[in-house]
Amino acid sequence: MVYLDNNATTPLDPDVAEKMSRFLKEYFGNPSSLYPIGREVKEMVNEARETIAKTLRAIRTEIIFTGSGTEADNFVLRGVLEAFPEKKELITSAIEHPAILSTAHYLEKTGVKVTYVPVDKTGMIDLDFLKDAVTPHTALISIMHANNELGTIQPIEEVVIIAKEKDILVHTDAVQSFGKIDVDVKKLGVDLLSISAHKIYGPKGVGALYVRKGTKIHPLIHGGHQEREMRAGTENTIGIIGFGEAVRVMKEKGPEDKKRIEKLAQRLKKGIEETIPKAKFNGHQEKRIKGTINFSFLNLEAEAILLALATKDIYVSTGSACSEGAEEVSHVLNAIGLRPEIARSSIRMSLGRFNTEQDIDTVLRELPPIVENLRKISALDIEEED
Ligand code: PLP
């Protein structure tokens, strides 16, 4: 199998699987219990919290565990807007993940004014537009760190400069950047940041929100005292232990992973450009997560390519996995100005820790004839755009 959909999810790292399986067999205590079998689990949860905090250059009490990256994103938008009832404005971008966009749409229905910052054709936000969109009523600016479909990395530090002049909180959805590039809350200067375990070879169904000390935000779930009363409910202990271990392994293997993935991705990108005519690269050439490669194969339906590749045991995506099947054309590709028929021909390949040179050989052998054969039977005939 050649798995090139690591932005959708990653396989569990064997070290993480090992740690989780040991935990499952040996520990069952409730972290809120005061006797030893509860306390030892609480300590392990806090160890995971410490590992994650240190990696982000935060402190332990600034990390709140959530049920997913999506939950962390919901939490931020709703929690901050609720905490500032006198400020009813939110600024975000047109290419956010549905976890942000759908929450923003929900907030609009409750009377919040949302401004969507447009992007250029590389997927980079328009900073001048953002600057002009800020008003005294802006409670929060939420701009993703790296885009899941294109890999484009946003200038978060510059967003922070604009926001801080006006005392506005800044959130970044770092679900796709964490583990792929340096994610340092101090360097970025953000107040809030979301991450998710299953994008970094950890388990699904656990995420975290960084909340800078002193930041005003309303709780997401009311109940017991867990997660500093911000997100009540008995903790997903197994998920949290796995998340912590995934981050520990990431620190160990991350630098080597990054080098290898970049090299493989570069070979794949170059190979496609050299062997497949009318293959249009989408995204920023430099400022992007290098392991994310998005191409439009003009005159084809991406789904046909995806299915043909799947018959060869090669797995790619036609866009964000979460939105697959849910919309005609990706809102991200639409926002970078691709015509619908070109957007519908786009494939995302995202590399990860377990990809090999052989995987790239396989794709470069199988993909060109698939595209060629499908084009022979395609009724479409679009000329390449500049
Ligand atoms: N934000 C981004 C940028 C993502 O890519 C994803 C998942 O694809 C999410 C949020 C949602 O994370 P989760 O799958 O943990 O809910």
- Tell me, in angstroms, the distance from the centre of ligand 1 to residue 171's CA: 15
What distance, in Å, lies between the first and last C-alpha atoms of the chain? 35
Give the pLDDT confidence of 149-169 residue by residue, as tens digits.
999 999 999 999 999 999 999
Axis-axis angle for helices 36-56, 237-275 (nearest 10) = 30
For ligand 1, the distance from its centroid to the CA atom of residue 97, given in whole angstroms, is: 7
With a 6 Å cutoff on the Cβ, whether 179 touches ligand 1 is: no
Using the predicted structure, report yes or no on whether residue 384 has a pLDDT greater than 70. Answer: no
Q: What is the pLDDT of residues 315-358, one digit of tens each?
A: 999 964 444 555 579 999 999 999 999 999 999 999 999 999 99
Q: pLDDT at position 325, please?
A: 52
Q: What is the pLDDT of residue 381?
A: 75
| Ligand 1 site, residue 144, Cβ cutoff 6 A | yes
Check residue 322 and give its pLDDT.
45
Ligand 1 atom closest to the CA of 204, numbered from 1:
15
- Which ligand 1 atom sits nearest the alpha carbon of residue 99? 10
Cα distances (Å, whole numbers) of residue 110 to 85, 311, 364: 12, 46, 50
Q: Is 67 in the pocket of ligand 1 (CB under 6 A)?
A: no
Q: How many CA atoms lie within 13 A of 300 on its CB side?
A: 29
Catalytic residue among 322, 329, 364, 382: 322
Q: From the CB of 174, is ligand 1 less than 6 Å away?
A: no
Q: Give the angle 136-140-146 at the CA atoms, nearest 5°.
A: 135
pTM of the predicted model as reported, rounded to 2 decimal places = 0.96
In this prediction, residue 185 carries a pLDDT of 98
The 8-class DSSP code of residue 178 comes to B
* Contact 196 CB / ligand 1 (< 6 Å): yes
Residue 321 confidence (pLDDT): 45
Atom of ligand 1 nearest to the CA of 205: 15
Q: Is the pLDDT of residue 112 over 70?
A: yes
Q: Is 70 in the pocket of ligand 1 (CB under 6 A)?
A: yes
pLDDT in tens, 180-220: 999 999 999 999 999 999 999 999 999 999 999 999 999 99
- Predicted confidence at residue 320, as pLDDT, reads 46
In tens, the pLDDT along 221-251 reads 999 999 999 999 999 999 999 999 999 999 9
Looking from the CA of residue 198, the nearest atom of ligand 1 is: 15
Q: Residue 115 belongs to what H/E stretch?
A: strand 113-117
Provide the pLDDT for residue 345. 95
Smallest Cα–Cα separation from 244: which of 56, 75, 97, 72?
A: 56
To the query of whether residue 362 is one of the catalytic residues in this protein, the response is: no
